[in-house]
Structure 1
Amino acid sequence: MDKLVFSFNDVPVILIIFQSFLFAILLLVARIGKRQANIFLAFFLMALGLDALDAMIYWSPSIKHVYLSDHVHIFYCLKFSVYLAAPTLYFYVKSLLYADFVFSRKDLLHFIPLALFPVLIAALYLSLGEEGRELGITQFGLLYSNPIYQVHLWVRNILYVGYGVACLLLLVRYKEELKQRYSNIENIDMFWLTMLVGGFLMIWFWVFISYLITLFSSSMWLGNVIGISGNVFNAIFVNALVVYSMAHVTIGYTLNPAEEKVEPGEHKEVDNIDPGIMEKLNQLMLERELFLDPDLTLEQLADITGISARKISSAINRTGKQNFFDYINNFRVKKAADILTNSNAKLSMLDVMADAGFNSKSTFYRAFKKITNMTPTEYQEQAGKQQP
């Protein structure tokens, strides 16, 4: 059969299809990392592969006429993939971050759009009729002008962009939760996950833009260019997601059920907070300089003081108007400033950083600048000028 089936533009789509299914199988059989996270990632990849397959068979005339001319239903039924992909990425991120995350019945609410998909298809079939269903796979204008299909397109783009934003917010919230409990969060490697989630969000937003351009203007070529470039980026990020997820089986710190969970902005037992807690904490910090331990945690401080972690966190949040991370680093910055002020020698900033309890240069500089409005070097130079 001497017919061209695939075009050059199909190459990134084909890569997405085969790589997504291959990586999904690999994740399901591999015994590395967190099993639950791997399952969610595998379903996300399979959904991306099905979405790419749906796009390829619809936009490839050769495939339609050569292989699928008598299989009308496949052009409609594969469109369920987006309803699976969007929430499974969210649950992958959540299960990777939280050691105690267990998928519950409440989480099934995220898959209501997926459960309603058969109803959408039935309504679409009814509105198109038998002749319209057959014409719709070759005449995109007929399908595109159908109001029920437009509902699907809007839901598709909103789900992708919405869950992409939700994943980023989940990462931000996780980091804020860690700051409630740890004085050092440099061991957390969230950069790769943030970049990958952000990358998928950019791709989905890019595709949403192409849809809006096609919907509200006559620039079909621009929408097609954006769509094709989106396929290329999708292929790149599918590879990166799997490679990095298997190389980084853990994020760093994981919040597990054995620890007392302290949520940012949540202050239970607030009415029972002893106003002397902060005074006791401040005195303990000054006398014993607990902040010099670069890995000091809220739980360790609770063990030392005999005060519950939740009460300490609530006191720091409400009285000190800051989280545990900033509270400890405030003492470290004051210690560093004292070293720079009282030292007659020109000290290395790495030595000052270590002597003050910091083990990260970037955290040291950010915290110092935030509290003193100067860099450590600027502060050292100013302190040197004031000395006789």
Structure 2
Amino acid sequence: MLFKTEQSYTLAIFHQTFTPFYYAAPACFYLYITGFLQDRRSLESVEWLHFVPALLAIIHVIPWHISTSTDWNLVGTQLAYNGYFSLNAKTGLFPPYFHYIFRPLLVISYLCATWIAVMQLKDQPQQLLESESRTWIIFFLRIATFFQLFGLVPIILKCLHISYVNTYFIVINCLALLLIFLYTLHKPYIFYGYLLVAVDWTKKSTPEQTGTDHIFVPLTADNPIRNSSTAKKINLLDEQLADYAFAMKEIMEREELYRLHDFQIIDLAAKLNMPIHHCSFVINKKIGKNFRDWINGYRVDYFLKQYPLRSDKITIEAIASEAGFKSQATFYNAFKKEKGLMPRAYFAREISH
């Protein structure tokens, strides 16, 4: 579009600015999936090496004095005619094949690595791919794989000396996006808990309760989704805090809700028919923990009761999964946080005493 409107200077700025992001995308895709599978929210030191291609792209687009001047009219012509992967004009420090060879190899490598990481969990019972998270992660992975591989088709056709029209690929991409949009409108729950707040639309609103039900605050009495300024203005009596805390502990222990891999604070609030911000406030102020640590405490206690009885028949990881942990990393981190030791060291110390 920029080329057709003869805005070569804007094209140069746009192209050079977004090239590093283009090379960081495969690594971000892989790290998101693997982080999701392992329930990790931060990168390990060695994982920053995945962004070396993006660093090379930054070096590539820096206007070094040693590099020759770029003919952006030629770049625009090639982009408009054959697409990005067929770019033969020099756009920076490195030769043109930095784009049309290195980037496709990067995409294919990360796609393969991501699918391998997902398939390795397929044969493990009660792991992530057997939980509700499977729907989201497989949906996300399939959609991303389709668009990445479809973007490589022009290169394959060019290598086979088969002519193609770039406009057709743009139209097919748009149609695919439209179909995905219609599919997600039909099944919006795919995004719940990941891109949207999880809400059970099948539940009817409950009228306000009075009398003996005073410890439960109905959702209709107060919108559960508040801004931060409203959430800070929670004034509950000590008796109310105690009643809320008792109700939370009672339902958690009676129904063993902690054993559900994807149980969240919004689910607890819905079961108790109380606002989410009240639920969070009581856990923080009365119980003295955040929700994640509180529920993981129940899971660790369950593990401690089951492992001595079944350690000869089942692995540590299997009991941890049964307790509600959806990844080994989460279990070991939670256990060490609760007991100060890893499981084997903890039981060895207990036996010695």
* TM band (smaller chain): 0.3 to 0.5
Q: Which has the higher helix share?
A: 1
Please, what TM-score do these two structures have when normalized by structure 1?
A: 0.42
Please, what TM-score do these two structures have when normalized by structure 2?
A: 0.46
